[in-house]
Chains A and B, each alone.
Chain A
Amino acid sequence: MSGEPLLKVEGVQTFYGNIRALDGVDVHVNRGEIVSLIGANGAGKSTLMMTICGSPQARHGSIIFDGEDITQQPTHLIARRRIAQSPEGRRIFPRMTVYENLQMGAGLDNLKYFDEDVEKIFTLFPRLKERQSQRGGTLSGGEQQMLSIGRALMSRPKLLLLDEPSLGLAPLIVKGIFEAIKKLNEEEGLTVFLVEQNAFAALRLSHRAYVMVNGKVTMAGTGRELLTNPEVRAAYLEGGRH
């Protein structure tokens, strides 16, 4: 974990019209880490995720990825620098088959690795192999989440952004998906930045974590530290005793 972080967000402010959604956020993600961002509804977690992807763009501050400033770049060029996103609400292509969805993820640059990569995704999520010629929209929620992550992985990302992968899923499915993320990180050294409401699962999975409140990062530490922190426990882990 030496040298420059893979992603460095410094003093980022993002606005929706006149409303400030992010108020000077500093976050960094080192190579090979799983970092999670937890916080209540409306804290700005997803906004940070979207700002990293350039939609909306940050008004102040800078976002450095792999040594290059991507703050003012359009979304599709940011994606081509191998930042893959599994967006909130999964956003798979409902009328396209599972296989076609994965193909869309590969883009143009990675078509030569396509067969190899698809096999890898199918080994990671065997469920998707069974469903490969089915339309994305006919999958269950858990399968759609697997497809969304699989599609993001098809671009051979340096950094994987996951926005609420556990949203609306049964605990058992969430466990399976988190295990897959852990496996990717351990075996392939994939760097993951994770936004989660399911704080307990996210903190246990992560090397480090940030807590976000009202557009600001209020706490940072290793996953274990935050898990045992009384404030975090009270606010996010024990059923919202504020």
Chain B
Amino acid sequence: MAQSPATENSGLMAQAVKEALVAAAISFGLFVLYVGIETYQDINNALVWRTRWGLLAIFVVIAAVSRFVVVGFIKPHLDKRKRDKAKAGIPEVSDGKTFFQRNFLKLALVGLLIYPPLSVMLAGTQGSLKYVDNFGIQILIYVMLAWGLNIVVGLAGLLDLGYVAFYAVGAYSYALLSQQFGLSFWVLLPLSGILAAFWGIILGFPVLRLRGDYLAIVTLAFGEIIRLVLINWTDVTRGTFGISGIPKASFFGIWSFDVGADNNFTKAWGLSMSSAYYKIFLFYLILALCMLTAYVTIKLRRMPIGRAWEALREDEIACRSLGINTVTTKLTAFAIGAMIGGFAGAFFATRQGFVSPESFVFLESAVILAIVVLGGMGSLTGIAIAAIVMVGGTEVLREMEFLKHVFGPDFTPELYRMLLFGLAMVVVMVFKPRGFVGSREPTAFLKERKAVSGSFTKEGHG
């Protein structure tokens, strides 16, 4: 280490340039076929191809410059900070929390409650549709689904790749029963949940002995079976055409949101006709459903069944030797997880007014599972944040008109959402391998909580 700072710095720059060139070469190799060449149909309906060297160059330059910045500036800076910290001996965990950290959940809830009126105020009645519907409701549906899957995967440790099946059961239960029997949303919401829970138990029985990878494969197949049944059982489900004209939910039967109805909400309140009010109602509805899910999860975790789930995730053999019935424990986890999926499904059906098997493909299960894993298995807050980042992020991409100026008018940002989705997952898993909120909150304490700092627990004595 006798080098002078200047030579050390130039060595660093040389390495940064070298790594930038390597990154450029790799990204060129990766993107040359995907981005550099485009196929399209000409006037004669023949498939021809053209090159997009400009766009490819932008991709390669971005990769090279980012690598250069990371190696040349960001990494030395981070290393230096780590070294300084180690020298100063600052403990990793500090007890002092800011006001924001302490009241994060309350602030978040208040923020969600005033979100619809705020967006109406800022964007006007029609303009608020986008923010309330595309962002608010869409994200909250995924939050609810992920919280439901969290019970199965995060708490009970049963890897379920077919969760979307229960979502589908809930959605079709509502769609079919409301159309065939004219039952209202408020009757069918619990019924959809019960039907989905029933299917959860049906799935649970054959997979009782399975764990890990084997369980994942069977649940994956189960998800596909439900989807294929929906496609092929055309007499009932109308196959790929789907079911349209699903009735809207009413305000507990007091006000309707159907345009022709006498007790229409906007008429009753003397407001101008707009679907925005229905969307705002739906926003509060899904928010309430999410809160119910969170409440149930938090309560259950403190009850014997919740603790049994967590113990089951940790060690199944130890569970049995402590007198826990692993069969009922697993089945309740599947049933309650599925029930929440069913609620979300019924809500989805009434919000869309249309359901088809297209909405329940494996990708949906994968996205929900990705949200649970990214958020940190078992942590409600972490999962909510992950849902906002993942679902909100892809919605934001639709809004990025300015990217067209960078990449040319043909550039459609939402086509890249899966690429970014994958990128985000890799980044999170590299920097936070246990998800956004990786630590587990204990549920039981002797008399009062005793804070044990992270630096203390790393050492084991004896």
Contacts and interface: CB of A to CB of B under 8 A. Distances in A.
Contacts of A143: 460, 462
A45 B443 CA distance: 37
Contacts, number: 95
A91 interface: yes
Identify which of A92, A100, A107, A151 gathers the most chain B CB atoms within 10 Å of its CB.
A100
B4 interface: no
Interface stretch (B7-15, B114-122, B288-296, B316-324): B316-324
Interface string A59-82: 000000000000000111101100
A175 to B, nearest CB: 13
Task: State the main secondary structure of chain B at its contact with A.
Answer: loop
Nearest to A115: B446
A77 B325 CA distance: 8
Interface string A144-166: 00000001000100000000000
B303 to A, nearest CB: 10
Identify which of A74, A85, A93, A97 gathers the most chain B CB atoms within 10 Å of its CB.
A93
B322 to A, nearest CB: 6
A107 B324 CA distance: 8
Interface stretch (B92-100, B211-219, B306-314, B382-390): B306-314
B235 interface: no
A93 B320 contact: no
Interface string B412-440: 00000000000000000000000000001
B442 A133 contact: yes
B158 to A, nearest CB: 16
Contacts of B405: none
- Which of under 10, 10 to 19, 20 to 34, or 35 or more describes the interface residues of B? 20 to 34
Interface residues of A, number: 40
Contacts of A138: 457-458, 460
B451 to A, nearest CB: 8
B409 interface: no
B311 A76 contact: no
A185 interface: no
A129 B310 CA distance: 22
A200 interface: no
A181 B450 CA distance: 29
Contacts of A127: 462
Interface string B447-462: 0011010000110111
Contacts of A94: 314
Contact of A140 (B313, B326, B444, B461): B461
Given A99-B444, A104-B311, A79 B321 contact: yes
A96 B311 contact: yes
B314 A103 contact: no
A85 B321 contact: yes
A133 B445 contact: yes
Contact of A99 (B315, B325, B442): B442
22 contacts: A55-B320, A74-B325, A76-B320, A76-B323, A76-B325, A93-B311, A93-B315, A96-B314, A99-B444, A99-B445, A100-B443, A104-B324, A105-B322, A107-B322, A107-B324, A132-B450, A133-B446, A133-B449, A135-B457, A139-B462, A142-B462, A143-B462
- 4 tightest A-B CB contacts, nearest first: A79-B323, A93-B314, A91-B318, A140-B462
Interface of A: 53, 55, 74-77, 79-80, 84-85, 87, 91-97, 99-100, 103-105, 107-108, 118, 127, 132-135, 138-143, 151, 155, 173
Interface of B: 304, 307-308, 310-311, 313-315, 317-318, 320-326, 440, 442-446, 449-450, 452, 457-458, 460-462
